[in-house]
């Protein structure tokens, strides 16, 4: 199998390829744009966990100045694909090592041909470092001009975020120092150029750019090699950003391009060792799952103990660079089983943002913690009350993601509990996770109402995973997760009683504790969990769902008056129908398949599958997982492919209403991995027992991967008529 994808140049694929050819290292991501591209072509160096707001616009992550703003000219003719039609051109991503390459050949009028290649990588060895190498060869002696600069005129959706531009100019070392608008957070981008040939140089400095114009004469047998060493550091790392970037750049230049590349590749080799999945008999699936894992590995915030991964990864500012439930439910399982340190960092982010969640709950008049739907630093909820724009009136539409999508708490507690069980170590409860669980449980109890006539608690006015139905009552998924959260909360109280009575006392006064325990026990016992219809075995997604118009997805689609019109909200085409955006009941059943009879799993899969639009990239994988779990690998396979290839194909929704939502889909990548492990391999883990129940797609010969559990690494091998699970290593 090749570990590469490639494309020629097509103007209308610029945005899509920006995602497809993304390279990232957990600290930052560089979109898969060509070196001559600027903000108009959505070039961006997207940074993790650093945000900025301008005026009343949406708060979003920062894009750094582009350290690789490179333009080439041969005898004054631009070699940019934007200016000329090359006779050959290929853009390539090596996704084993996260190396972006381009190879372009341009013809000049005199028969001369200029062949140039540029490769770049974001170092996994030094996450602040990005290096590139340019190679240029010619047929005839040619005067080449390279403009190699740092471009601070960045693409922003809701910017501009950068200000106070200051230039540092020391010959072939340049640096750009800026501050963010809102918090005046400093950021520096440094760049050192090294050329194999004699050159003449000129510095061109404008308001937001610093450029070295390098004139070189190249002979046919003497290709030019230019190394560009760069680094980016911002104030979340160090306030000495100027010194830090210089140090990083100088270190890289001292080692040279090849050594920095090798150090980077070694890190990738280490990562693949635990994370790789081998599929025999299906080269396309093999490529897609590795491409998915590449994206997941690219995103691990290994440089920090307490950062998490945004819903669109590091591909840009869409979805405000915010952390959603996607992380806990769709990305976390991968890291838990391949790289628990990253899994811990993701959860630590939630521990550290508990104050924000407490504040949000209080703002809405609830007790405990209400985690942000779109979480930025400190747990600030970036969700707008108006998250969608009406395409007919261009007005913002009141949406309830922020105030009603309370299942976020359940996802966090679910992940924490998985971590504690997966790690076999409950000490995390003593370093912050316990408080998160208690506060999440407290919230659910305080959100609920009691119905005396029915002797039950209910959770009213919520949005479940299916966002097309807003403000519903008793969403199965939400109620189930809330019940689990409170049950885990009761376990934490018990654990604290034994192991940390002081913590408990700090959390509850004595009277409150007993009262709380009683209330929580009552809640856990009496919270209404919608039950399946006895005749059909189908479970109603929320109160009244079955009474909605039962109509095909295509019919609903045919009612659209505008291609970008929002399907949900109060009056969207799906709102009064049973058509749902994404797996909801099916998500729950996929997660908790052991607690339901097989026939119930199957009946619900069949019922909801027909009614799901899959308007979210979180949907397909859950249909794949549940189908596998009921032994229907053929039902699962197309959904697996959809989930695993979403970014490789580039076919995904680009707009919700008039809001651009393009970017990569890490949750779909994580879901593809989950389908392999939990679905096709049928891995289930209970306490210390790992079980397999494989259902491979019929054309797969074998499947191999590793998973970690309680600090032991297991090698799983599955073939047509065998399977095995062996411990191979102890961490």
Helix (H) or strand (E) run with residue 202 in it: strand 200-205
Question: Token pair of 106, please?
Answer: 């341009």
- Answer yes or no: 467 catalytic: yes
What's the CA gap between 544 and 524, in Å, rounded?
23
Please identify which of the residues 467, 602, 613, 678 carries the catalytic annotation: 467
Q: In this chain, which stretch among 287-295, 323-331, 447-455, 681-689 interacts with a copy of itself, using CB under 8 A?
A: 447-455
Burial class (CB in 10 A: 0-12, 13-18, 19+), 403: buried
Q: Which of 76, 393, 511, 730 binds a copy of itself (CB under 8 A)?
A: 393
Q: What angle do CA 92, 662, 325 make, to 5 degrees?
A: 110
Looking at the Cβ atoms of 3 and 364, the one nearer to a copy of itself is: 364
Question: What are the backbone angles phi and psi of residue 255, rounded to the nearest 5°?
Answer: -70, -35
Nearer to a copy of itself, 452 or 563 (CB): 452
Per-residue burial over 331-356, b = 16 or more CB atoms within 10 Å of its CB, e = otherwise: bbbbbbbbbbebbbbbbbbbbbbbeb
- Residue placing its CB nearer to a copy of itself in the complex, 133 or 448: 448
**E strands present in 371-468:** 388-389, 396-397, 449-451, 456-458
Q: How is residue 452 annotated by DSSP?
A: G
Concatenated DSSP letters of 75-143: TTEE--TTTS--SEEEEEEETTTTEEEEEEEEE-TTS-EEEEEEEEEE-SSSTTEEEEEEEEEESS-EE
Q: Which residue from 417, 51, 471, 48 is spatially nearest to 232, judged by alpha carbons?
A: 48
Phi, psi (degrees; rounded to nearest 5) at 260:
-65, -40
390 binds a copy of itself (CB under 8 A): yes
The answer to the question of residue 519 lying near a copy of itself (CB under 8 A) is: yes
Instruction: Note whether 529 binds a copy of itself by CB under 8 A.
Output: no
Comparing CA positions, the residue from 617, 554, 522, 306 lying closest to residue 432 is: 306
Residue 563 near a copy of itself by CB under 8 A: no
Classify residue 139 by burial, with Cβ atoms within 10 Å: 0-12, 13-18, 19+. Answer: middle
Q: Which of 157, 460, 551, 725 binds a copy of itself (CB under 8 A)?
A: 460
C-alpha neighbours within 13 Å on the C-beta side of residue 574: 23
Q: Could you tell me the two tokens for 246?
A: 């210089």
Question: Could you tell me how many residues of this chain bind a copy of itself (CB under 8 A)?
Answer: 26
- Report residue 725 as tokens: 């699970």
84, 240, 446, 654: residue in contact with a copy of itself (rule CB under 8 A): 446
Give the shortest CB-450-to-a copy of itself separation in angstroms.
4
Cβ atoms of residues 96 and 144 within 8 Å:
no
Would you say 360 or 642 has its CB closer to a copy of itself? 360
Question: Minimal distance in Å, beta carbon 333 to a copy of itself?
Answer: 35
Q: Which stretch binds a copy of itself (CB under 8 A): 126-134, 405-413, 457-465, 658-666?
A: 457-465
**Which residue, 564 or 704, is less far from a copy of itself as judged by CB?**
564
β-bridge mates for residue 472, sequence order: 462
Nearest to a copy of itself of 370, 623 (CB atom)? 370
| 500 contributes a contact to a copy of itself by CB under 8 A | no
558 binds a copy of itself (CB under 8 A): no
In the bound state with a copy of itself, the residue whose beta carbon lies nearer, of 560 and 712, is 560
DSSP 547: G
The residue among 368 and 670 lying less far from a copy of itself, judged by its C-beta, is: 368
Q: Which stretch binds a copy of itself (CB under 8 A): 267-275, 348-356, 425-433, 456-464?
A: 456-464
Considering the rule CB under 8 A, would residue 56 count as an interface residue with a copy of itself? no
Scan residues 352-371 and list those touching a copy of itself (CB under 8 A).
367
**Residue 693 sits in the site that holds a copy of itself (CB under 8 A):** no
Residues 465-484 that bind a copy of itself (CB under 8 A): 471
Task: Measure the CA–CA gap between 376 and 395, rounded to whole angstroms.
Answer: 25
Does 237 help bind a copy of itself (rule: CB under 8 A)?
A: no
CB closer to a copy of itself, 364 vs 596: 364
How far apart are the C-alpha atoms of 553 and 489, rounded to whole Å? 40
Residues 398-427 that bind a copy of itself (CB under 8 A): 398
Task: Out of 11, 56, 109, 561, point to the residue binding a copy of itself (CB under 8 A).
Answer: 561
| Whether the Cβ atoms of residue 443 and residue 409 lie closer than 8 Å to each other | yes
Q: Is 576 among the residues that bind a copy of itself (CB under 8 A)?
A: yes
Check residue 717 for interaction with a copy of itself (CB under 8 A): no
Min. distance of Cβ 230 from a copy of itself in angstroms? 46
User: Closest approach of Cβ 413 to a copy of itself, in Å?
Assistant: 20
- Site stretch for a copy of itself (CB under 8 A), options 208-216, 270-278, 385-393, 684-692: 385-393
Separation in Å, CA 88 to CA 41, 107, 117: 21, 9, 11
Stretch that binds a copy of itself, among 50-58, 250-258, 340-348, 387-395 (CB under 8 A): 387-395
Considering only 184, 202, 262, 395, the residue that binds a copy of itself (CB under 8 A) is 395
Does 512 participate in binding a copy of itself (rule CB under 8 A)?
A: no
Q: Can you state the percent helix, strand and coil of the chain, rounding each to 5?
A: 35, 25, 35
Least distance from a copy of itself to the Cβ atom of residue 446, Å: 6
Q: How far is the CB of 241 from a copy of itself (least distance, A)?
A: 41
Which one of 183-191, 425-433, 446-454, 605-613 is the stretch in contact with a copy of itself (CB under 8 A)?
446-454
Region from 9-17, 80-88, 198-206, 454-462 binding a copy of itself, contact rule CB under 8 A: 454-462
Q: How far is the CB of 393 from a copy of itself (least distance, A)?
A: 6
| The one segment of 222-230, 258-266, 386-394, 609-617 that binds a copy of itself by CB under 8 A | 386-394
Is 575 a residue that touches a copy of itself (CB under 8 A)?
A: yes
| Contact with a copy of itself (CB under 8 A) among 449, 505, 634, 651 | 449
Query: What strand order describes the sheet that includes 129-138?
Result: 4-7, 88-94, 99-107, 113-122, 129-138, 224-234, 186-195, 173-180, 162-170
Binding status of residue 548 toward a copy of itself by CB under 8 A: no
- Tell me which of 143, 202, 451, 610 binds a copy of itself, using CB under 8 A: 451
Residue closer to a copy of itself (CB basis): 85 or 561: 561
> Beta-strand (E) ranges in 288-358?
none
Quick one: which of 588, 693, 54, 34 has its CA closest to 320? 54
Instruction: Give yes or no for a contact between 323 and 288, defined as CB atoms under 8 angstroms apart.
Output: no
Residue 178's H or E segment, with its range, is strand 173-180
User: Residues in the site for a copy of itself, rule: CB under 8 A?
Assistant: 367, 385, 390, 392-393, 395, 397-398, 445-446, 449-453, 458, 460-461, 471, 519, 561, 569-571, 575-576
> Which residues are tagged catalytic?
467
């Amino acid at each position: 199998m090749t570990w590469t994808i490639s494309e020629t140049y097509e103007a209308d694929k610029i945005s899509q390829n920006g995602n497809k050819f993304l390279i990232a290292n957990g600290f930052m991501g560089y979109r898969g744009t060509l070196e001559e591209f600027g903000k108009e072509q959505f070039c961006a160096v997207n940074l993790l966990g650093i945000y900025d707001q301008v005026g009343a616009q949406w708060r979003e992550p920062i894009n750094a100045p582009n350290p690789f703003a490179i333009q080439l000219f041969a005898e004054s003719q631009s070699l940019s694909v934007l200016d000329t039609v090359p006779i050959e051109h290929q853009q390539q991503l090596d996704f084993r090592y996260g190396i972006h390459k381009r190879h372009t050949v341009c013809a000049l009028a005199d028969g001369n041909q200029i062949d140039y290649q540029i490769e770049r990588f974001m170092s996994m060895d030094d996450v602040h470092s990005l290096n590139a190498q340019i190679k240029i060869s010619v047929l005839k002696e040619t005067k080449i001009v390279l403009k190699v600069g740092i471009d601070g005129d960045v693409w922003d959706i809701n910017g501009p975020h950068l200000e106070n531009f200051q230039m540092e100019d020391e010959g072939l070392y340049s640096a750009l120092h800026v501050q963010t608008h809102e918090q005046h957070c400093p950021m520096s981008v440094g760049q050192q150029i090294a050329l194999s040939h004699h050159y003449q140089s000129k510095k061109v400095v404008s308001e937001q750019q610093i450029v070295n114009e390098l004139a070189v004469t190249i002979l046919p047998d003497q290709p030019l090699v230019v190394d560009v060493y760069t680094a980016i550091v911002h104030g979340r790392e160090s306030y000495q950003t100027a010194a830090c970037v210089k140090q990083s750049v100088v270190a890289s230049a001292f080692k040279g391009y090849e050594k920095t590349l090798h150090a980077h590749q070694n890190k990738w080799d280490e990562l693949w060792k635990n994370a790789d999945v081998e599929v025999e008999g299906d080269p396309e699936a093999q490529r897609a799952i590795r491409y998915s894992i590449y994206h997941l590995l690219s995103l691990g915030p290994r440089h920090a103990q307490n950062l998490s991964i945004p819903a669109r990864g590091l591909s840009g500012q869409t979805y405000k660079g915010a952390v959603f439930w996607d992380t806990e439910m769709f990305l976390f399982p991968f890291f838990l089983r391949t790289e628990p340190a990253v899994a811990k960092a993701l959860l630590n982010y939630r521990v550290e943002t508990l104050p924000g969640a407490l504040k949000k709950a209080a703002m809405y008049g609830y007790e405990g913690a209400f985690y942000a739907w779109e979480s930025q630093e400190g747990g600030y909820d970036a969700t707008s009350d108006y998250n969608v724009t009406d395409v007919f009136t261009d007005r913002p539409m009141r949406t309830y993601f922020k105030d009603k999508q309370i299942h976020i708490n359940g996802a966090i507690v679910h992940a924490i509990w998985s971590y504690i069980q997966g790690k076999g170590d409950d000490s995390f409860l003593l370093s912050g996770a316990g408080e998160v669980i208690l506060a999440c449980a407290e919230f659910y109890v305080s959100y609920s109402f009691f119905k005396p006539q029915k002797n039950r608690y209910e959770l009213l006015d919520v949005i479940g995973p299916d966002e097309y139905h807003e403000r519903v009552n008793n969403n199965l998924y939400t109620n189930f997760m809330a019940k689990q959260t409170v049950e885990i909360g009761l376990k934490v109280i018990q654990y604290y009683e034994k192991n940390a009575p002081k913590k408990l006392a700090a959390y509850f006064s004595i009277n409150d504790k007993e009262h709380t325990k009683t209330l929580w026990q009552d809640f856990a016992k009496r919270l209404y969990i919608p039950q399946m219809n006895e005749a059909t075995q189908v479970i109603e997604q929320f109160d009244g769902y079955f009474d909605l118009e039962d109509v095909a997805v295509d019919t609903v689609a045919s009612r659209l008056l505008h291609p970008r019109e929002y399907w949900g909200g109060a009056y969207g085409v799906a709102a009064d129908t049973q058509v749902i955006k994404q797996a909801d009941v099916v998500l729950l059943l996929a997660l908790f398949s052991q607690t339901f009879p097989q026939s119930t799993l199957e009946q619900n899969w069949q019922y909801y599958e027909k009614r799901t639009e899959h308007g979210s990239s979180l949907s397909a994988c859950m249909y794949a997982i549940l189908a596998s779990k009921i032994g229907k690998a053929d039902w699962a396979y197309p959904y697996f492919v959809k989930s695993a290839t979403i970014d490789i194909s580039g076919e995904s929704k680009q707009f919700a209403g008039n809001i651009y939502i393009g970017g990569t889909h890490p949750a779909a990548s994580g879901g593809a991995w989950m389908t392999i492990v939990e679905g096709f391999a049928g891995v289930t883990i209970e306490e210390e027992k790992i079980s397999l129940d494989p259902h491979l797609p019929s054309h797969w010969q074998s499947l191999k991967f590793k998973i970690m559990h309680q600090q032991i690494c297991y090698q799983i091998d599955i073939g047509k008529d065998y399977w095995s699970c062996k411990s191979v290593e102890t961490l």
